[in-house]
Amino acid sequence: MSFDVVASSRIEQRQITPWRYIAQTGVQIGLLGIFLGVVGILGMFNKRPIIVGELTLGYATLGLVFLVAGILVGSRRLFASIPQTLLAGLVAGTIAATVFALLPIAMSLISLRSIFVSLDPTLYEMLTFGYRAPVGIGQIICLGAVLGLLGAALTELPRSVRRPISGGLVAAALAGLFQELLRPILANSKVSKPLHDLLYTWGGLTLRGAITIFAVTAIAITVYDLSRDRFNAKFQSLPSPNRRRIRWGFLAAAIFLCLLFPLYAGHFIGQVLLTVGLFTLMGMGLNLEVGIAGLLDLGFVAFYAVGAYVTGLLMADSPFALAHMSFWEAMPIAVLCSVVMGVIFGIPVLKVRGDYLAVATMGLGEIVRVIVLSDAAAPLLGGAKGILQIPRPVIGDFHLNNPVLLFYLTLVASLVAAYAAWRLEESRLGRAWKAIRDDEDVAQALGINLIQVKLLAYGLGAAFAGLAGSIFAVMLGSIYPHSFQLIISINILALIIVGGLGSLPGVALGAIVLIGLPEMLREFGEFRYLFYGLAIVAVMRLKPEGLWPSASKKRELRIDAETLAVQQGAATADAKTT
């Protein structure tokens, strides 16, 4: 399958009058709001406070929706004068809110709960602000109008004002949203305890705290913006060795803080980071196969399963165990078994290409899971009951027995794996992989042995998954076939696409966005696959090269955008002459 992504080249030729655009945007945004309500996102989000007693995530989302209406209309630069733009935002917000108000109106007239479970009285109460229907609906429309106006106003503000405001809002929202994570960290140490008391109560972020965070962030951004040029000039005037030293110093400090963070953050964050780390490891492996060698693989979870099961069989304190090795002995064997599995896996699909390859590998991945589940293999692998009592890794007398310590293990493994992946990508083999990704026949005609190169891609990619599986086994202490569903393969594929195909930092970023965020915010977790879909569609539309693309890819697509702009310019010139 080719993943050449080309930015949309549609040239807008239809003339849309400004007011029609405003009406369209308003209706679309209103429908989006109704959608969020109907699927239950608004109701679910309403249970999480951002500012205690003042604002919930549900209302914030709804407000954001109306704000976006104003921003969309304002950023289109439909009118030259500011009052007209503000009026446009106001109208768009009002239309959006009016369309959205159809939802509570419908709810007050008939019960829709038998069809849409989420449309319950609690949601109705939220949407009408606890008042009777006409009053509540009037309030929604007013809210829409005001927020639409504000959205449009935001686009008209100069950058120097807009940046602190939006930055402050985002910071306050994050502080409220992640209060469950931030509070223990702040409360743990004596130094930060007063800060905790200033910002939070036991229930969450206080209004005072929110205003404080907003103000501090806004001022910080303003100061930074104002003094950045001076700082840069001063920095540039330093002699080059000093500059390098300062840069390395900052980098080292940042890495040091990142390393210390999980220790203070507690077990929950440790667990989230551990999961992110495991998916990063697997993502790097799949990235070799899909991103570099262009071999689409939907059965990747099989290698993860092999790594986990081999580790389990070699370490567990159970009747299925083949040996009682330590983790450090079992892990390399597990990785090796995964490599062998990868090669075996690759042989039947050597001649299969593109979309067919995706289907074939998906089948192979399922076969592995079904075999593990089967009665035939049950005496060996434990069937659906799995393998239990896998001990934790030990270094000397030191037991890696909590998620934070296991996270550090995963971090080390990831760094080693990232180095290996980077070396491979730059090597002769990596070039051969990229060549078969672009044109398999031509690559073969240049003397590349397709069988060898493809099997190496499967085998080496599988090694990363085997390593992840091995850590997974000791993390849970028990493994079941149900941990190795097809959806894991799809998750990994999604995260490398969102992060940027073929890019190593992209894999880590993709794992944080698609795996870490849903784990941290339960509400997002409930709608995980909706957000996956949204994230993928949004990335493909707005940043088709991924969130953190590899360097050469970035250059390509930027150049494409330039040619596109030139073409569009030519097209408009043509349109003018004819």
Residue with smaller CB distance to other proteins, 130 or 354: 354
Part of the chain binding other proteins (CB under 8 A), chosen from 275-283, 400-408, 439-447, 467-475:
439-447
Cβ count near 272 (within 10 Å): 22
Give the residue among 153, 168, 158 at the shortest CA–CA distance from 219. Answer: 168
Using the contact rule CB under 8 A, the part of the chain among 241-249, 259-267, 353-361, 448-456 near other proteins is 448-456
Other C-beta atoms closer than 10 Å to the C-beta of 250 total: 10
**Residue (234 or 423) nearer to other proteins, CB:** 423
Min dist. Cβ of residue 420 to other proteins (A): 5
Cα gap 3→346, rounded to integer Å: 21
Among 460, 473, 488, 509, binds other proteins (CB under 8 A): 460
* CA-closest candidate to residue 386, choices 278, 476, 490, 466: 476
The nearest distance, CB 345 to other proteins, in angstroms, is: 18
Between 127 and 432, CB nearer to other proteins: 432
Contact status: 324 vs other proteins (CB under 8 A): no
Q: Is 180 in the site for other proteins (CB under 8 A)?
A: no
Give the pairing type, strands 55-56 and 49-51: antiparallel
Binder of other proteins out of 552, 561, 569, 572 (CB under 8 A): 552
Residue 288 CA to its chain's centroid (Å): 20
Only one residue has tokens 């493809």, namely: 454
> With binding defined as CB under 8 A, does residue 558 bind other proteins?
no
Q: Which of 54, 556, 567, 570 binds other proteins (CB under 8 A)?
A: 556
172 close to 210: Cβ distance less than 8 angstroms: yes
Considering the complex, state which of residue 392 and residue 543 has its C-beta at the smaller distance from other proteins. Answer: 543
**What's the rounded Cα separation, in Å, for the pair 511 and 119?**
33
Residue 185 CB neighbour total at 10 angstroms: 16
Considering the rule CB under 8 A, would residue 449 count as an interface residue with other proteins? yes
Structure tokens at 473: 């086994």
Near other proteins by CB under 8 A: residue from 82, 198, 439, 522: 439
Q: Is 197 in the site for other proteins (CB under 8 A)?
A: no
What CA–CA distances, in Å, run from 101 to 8, 113, 142, 431? 34, 17, 11, 57
Residue 267: Cβ within 10 Å count: 13
- Give me the 391-430 binding string for other proteins, x by CB under 8 A, dash otherwise: -----------------------------x--xx-xxxxx
Q: How far is the CB of 419 from other proteins (least distance, A)?
A: 8
- Of 80, 109, 115, 445, the one binding other proteins (CB under 8 A) is 445
Min dist. Cβ of residue 553 to other proteins (A): 7
Query: Is the Cβ–Cβ distance between 107 and 26 less than 8 Å?
Result: no
Cα separation, 219 vs 161, in Å, equals 11
Residue 442 in the binding site for other proteins (CB under 8 A): yes
Residue number, 48 or 437, with CB nearest to other proteins: 437
To the nearest whole angstrom, how small is the minimum distance from the Cβ of residue 95 to other proteins?
44
Rule CB under 8 A: say whether 434 interacts with other proteins: yes
Decide: is 559 part of the binding site for other proteins (CB under 8 A).
yes
Q: Residue 197 or 439: which CB sits closer to other proteins? A: 439
User: In this chain, which of 193, 243, 351, 431 binds other proteins, going by CB under 8 A?
Assistant: 431
| 290 binds other proteins, rule: CB under 8 A | no
Which token pair is 294?
């262009």
For position 443 contacting other proteins by CB under 8 A, the verdict is: yes
- Residue 435 binds other proteins (CB under 8 A): yes
Structure tokens that stand for 392 in this block: 């934790």
Beta bridge partners of 399: 394
Residue-wise DSSP of 224-268 = HHHHHHHHHHHHHHS-HHHHHHHHHHHHHHHHHHHHHHHHHHHHH
Tokens linked to 269: 């964050």
DSSP per position, 467-507? HHHHHHHHHHS-B-GGGS-HHHHHHHHHHHHHH-TT-HHHH
Footprint of other proteins on this chain (CB under 8 A)?
A: 4, 420, 423-424, 426-432, 434-435, 437-439, 441-450, 456, 460, 552-553, 555-556, 559
